[in-house]
Amino acid sequence: MGLKGTIPPHLGNLSFLVSIDMKGNSFQGNLPVELAQLRRLRVLDLSSNSFTGQIPASLGFLSEIQDLSLRNNNFSGFIPATIFNLSKLEMLDLSFNSLRGKLPEEIGKLQNLKDLGIQDNQLTGSLPFELYNVSGLERLALTRNSLSGELPDDICGRLPGLEGIYLSWNAISGRIPLSFPECRRLTLLSLSNNAFVGPIPREIGNVTMLDALYLGANNLTAVSPSPEGWAVMVVAASEAAVSRSRF
């Protein structure tokens, strides 16, 4: 609606609110800590505004919240560990901000999480092992950060419900995991522009639902023969091809 200005702290007095949707406006400034008083809130969508400052640690008091989207703003600083106290959270999207630091190991506490998006930030370090305990995760989107380390070979044994894996434009190394066929609903696998080494595993050909595969701009030294039945529609095989991709 083209709304501007800041969010008044008095919004926290509307104690019966269960949903706040203010996306796509021009709100700015810091989020008021009084939002933490909305203990019945299930949906908070403040995406595509111009909010600044740090994500308030007090949001961790929104015990009923299921969907939290702060994407496409100007938030900075670290992801507060209190966010991971929101045990009912199913969707968390913090993409397109300026968040830094490591992804906290407390993320393993979000056992109901299905959709995790922290793309286009400044995250560093390796993915915490606790992430792979969130067994119901369906979308893992961490494109364009500075993440490093290796992916566990049993990533799909631990996260079998994954439908989309977006990890391009990081510094992840090691070999491409062999367990992707265990993600039986996987349709998109984006690992381009990293530091993976070794051959493309033949096992990827057994991911029967896969229709988009991005592996370009790595340090892959060989390609295993492609088995019959690959369902891949898009293969980014060169750095030039991947540079045009939004993944």
Q: Which comes out higher in pLDDT, residue 198 or 234?
A: 198
pLDDT over threshold 70, residue 101: yes
Write down the pLDDT at residue 221: 83
Arithmetic mean of pLDDT, 66-86: 96
Closest to 64 measured CA to CA, from 31, 80, 87: 87
Domain ranges of the chain: 4-243
Write down the pLDDT at residue 198: 95
Look up residue 102 and give its two tokens.
């490591």
Whether the CB-CB separation of 64 and 88 falls below 8 Å is answered with yes
Closest to 68 measured CA to CA, from 127, 22, 125: 22
CA–CA separation, 110 and 116 (whole Å): 10
Q: Which CATH number fits domain 4-243: 3.40.50.300, 3.80.10.10, 3.20.80.10, 2.120.10.30?
A: 3.80.10.10
pLDDT over threshold 50, residue 244: no
What letter represents residue 245's amino acid? S
CA–CA separation, 137 and 113 (whole Å): 6
| 132-142 pLDDT tens trace | 999 999 999 99
Q: Supply the mean pLDDT for the chain.
A: 91
Look up residue 118 and give its two tokens.
């922290």
* pTM for this entry: 0.90
| 145-161 pLDDT tens trace | 999 999 999 999 999 99
pLDDT over 70, % of the chain: 89
Look up residue 4 and give its two tokens.
């501007």
Whether the CB-CB separation of 206 and 227 falls below 8 Å is answered with yes
Whether the CB-CB separation of 141 and 117 falls below 8 Å is answered with yes
